[in-house]
Amino acid sequence: MEELTLTTPALLFSAISLIMLAYTNRFLAYAAIIRNLSDKYLKDQDASVLRQIKNLKLRIQLTRYMQIAGITSLLFCVLTMFLIYIHYPIVAVWAFGLGLVLLILSLLFLIWEIQISAKSLQHHLGDIENHVKK
């Protein structure tokens, strides 16, 4: 194995930062949607709105897990750089590996959340198609 240098974990900074920005935007969009649906539910007491809110609750939870795993991954990249700087290369390799595993976990949560999101949109399209057929 080649020696781990400061530039290797530094390369992930921009990628993780962009991912975290995307996660934050998702979270903010969900929060706005939930606020609107909450107001709508308080007015209409519609069961479909309640199902949408429950779906969004799961999606927000997954987004939170994505963010935690991504931030922790970034933290381990910084720790890796520090360990390289103070000449602990073996520990640095393990810290970097753990950071990569956390990044993978974050992306797996993203895939799961996207699957839920796609199913939700398919249900909405089905509702529209049923309404048009009537």
The Cα–Cα gap between 1 and 78 comes to 21
Residue 88 carries which side chain, given as an amino acid letter?
Y
pTM of the predicted model as reported, rounded to 2 decimal places: 0.82
Written as six digits, the tokens of 128 are 């529209």
Q: What is the pLDDT along the chain (134 residues), one digit of tens a residue?
A: 578 888 888 888 888 888 989 999 988 988 888 888 888 878 887 777 777 888 888 999 999 999 999 999 999 999 999 999 999 999 999 999 999 999 999 999 999 999 998 888 887 777 777 777 77
Residue 67 contacts residue 23 (beta carbons within 8 Å): yes
Task: Please report, for the chain, the start and end positions of each structural domain, with discontinuous segments joined by +.
Answer: 6-133
